[in-house]
Amino acid sequence: MYQIKYNQPVHVHFIGIGGISMSGLAAVLLKEKFTVSGSDAKESPLTDWLSGLGASIVYGQRASNITDGIDVVIYTAAIHPDNPEFAAAREKGIPMLSRAELLGQLMCNYQIPVAVAGTHGKTTTTSMLTHLMMAGGLNPTISVGGILKSIGGNIRLGSSEVFLTEACEYTNSFLELSPKIGIVLNIEADHLDFFKDLDDIRHSFRLFAEKIPSDGTLIIGSQIPDLNFFTDGLPCRVVTFGLGAGDYHAEDITYSACGFASFTLVKNGVPAGRYHLSVPGEHNVSNAVAALAAGDLLSIPYEKMAAGLSDFEGTDRRFQKKGEVSGITIVDDYAHHPTEIRATLHAAANYPGSTIWCVFQPHTYSRTKSLMDDFAEALSLADKIVLADIYAARETDDLGISSDTLREKIAAKGKDVWYFPTFGEIEDFLMENCAPGDLVITMGAGDIVKVGEDLLKRG
């Protein structure tokens, strides 16, 4: 595989440079004095930002964009072999790396690369750890999967030997990474359009753990079933974390009126400080303990970590309060898996409000079909449920299901549930039926956030 070395900058071309992830990696290379070019469908704030940093960007993807001076071409999973630039690079024999392969190559240029993996909570935990590192003065380079206000986006260009990133399991892209500290938050059935089953997913996470070198550390959730499967025989150090159990765990959890938790961190049986969160839910206590375990490995003082955690107020689309309209509070959340839905709705139960409305947009037909009963059970934690059409994402509708199928499952549990095929119908229904003091949570990984934003415009 082509090797990216910071002490040997070359000309790197990005197909689709304006994407949220690709743009961040391009910025990292620009900081390291690489020559960066790229193409995208149209101009955007991200392409303008990269141009300001020195990137050469063209609009429209053509074979002529692949010039003889390019040393390596970067592409995403969305780029197929019939793409004119992809085909031209292959014809010219120019080395090519996927986005995940490039991320793995970048990590190799840092003494302490840290990767956060797991079915849920990656973005939040990476963001929490970002706050801990910054509070501890580590000045890390960071790539996070959501927009984090404290770093002004999803990328931070640091000047230390610490690199922090999310590690996504979809298509096994996290197996391209080379972490010295690897965090595994949880492992559940998901992305079943790629993985065969839960055993297949568990096998991939075992391979991820095996990538950590002998002088590195695996931080892994103590609640993961058959934990020894992932830890036995590893050459690296293994540290567990959790709620009530683990080398690092939380005890004496209390909640404020807004559902924000405070807890005592216990390290190897000894109390290690009291911590206060500014985000709701027990699931975020677990995320925080994982981040604190990593911060402790990095020798960040406890008082600095406490300050960093307290300052963290969440990332976009993670129980994000959008505003109020007619006395109704609008919150948006990215939850699109039953476990995430349960966590969000349990957190909502501690939030001031009389009735919890969950406006859910299922994400992909394969996930909805394979986890249908789990979705119905999880969504039933809300007082009232409104369903939008399934967000297809990368799939086509060939599985014979719809959101109305899910509505029937939830209704069978005796819950108040409605399905509307358009956002406009959902918005009209909510305005007619919600009362002052109610909490409306728009939920899903698609574009359901528009419902809450449109409701606020009506105010």
Read off the amino acid at residue 176.
Answer: E
User: So what's the pLDDT on residue 353?
Assistant: 67
One-character DSSP codes across 226-251: TTHHHHTT-SSEEEEEEES-SSEEEE
Domains of the chain, each with CATH number or no CATH: 11-98 (3.40.50.720), 110-311 (3.40.1190.10), 320-457 (3.90.190.20)
pTM across the whole model: 0.79
Residues 391 and 402 sit within 8 Å (Cβ to Cβ): no
Kindly name the residue from 47, 124, 130, 166 that is annotated as catalytic: 166
As a whole number of angstroms, the distance between CA 30 and CA 53 comes to 7
122, 211, 267, 304: the catalytic one is 122
The yes-or-no answer on residue 122 being catalytic is yes
pLDDT score, position 248 = 98
What's the average pLDDT block by block, 10 residues per block, for the chain (459 residues)?
94 94 93 97 93 96 96 92 96 96 95 96 93 96 82 88 93 93 93 86 97 98 97 98 96 87 97 94 93 98 96 78 90 88 85 86 90 94 96 76 94 96 95 94 92 89
- pLDDT 10s digits, 393-439: 777 777 788 999 999 999 999 999 999 999 999 999 999 999 999 99
- Catalytic member of 47, 119, 123, 217: 123
Q: Are 327 and 333 in contact (CB under 8 A)?
A: no
166 catalytic per annotation:
yes
DSSP strand pairing (11-15 vs 35-40)? parallel
- Residue 343: count of CB within 10 angstroms of its CB: 24
pLDDT tens by residue, 225-254: 999 999 999 999 999 999 989 999 999 999
Active site residue 123: yes
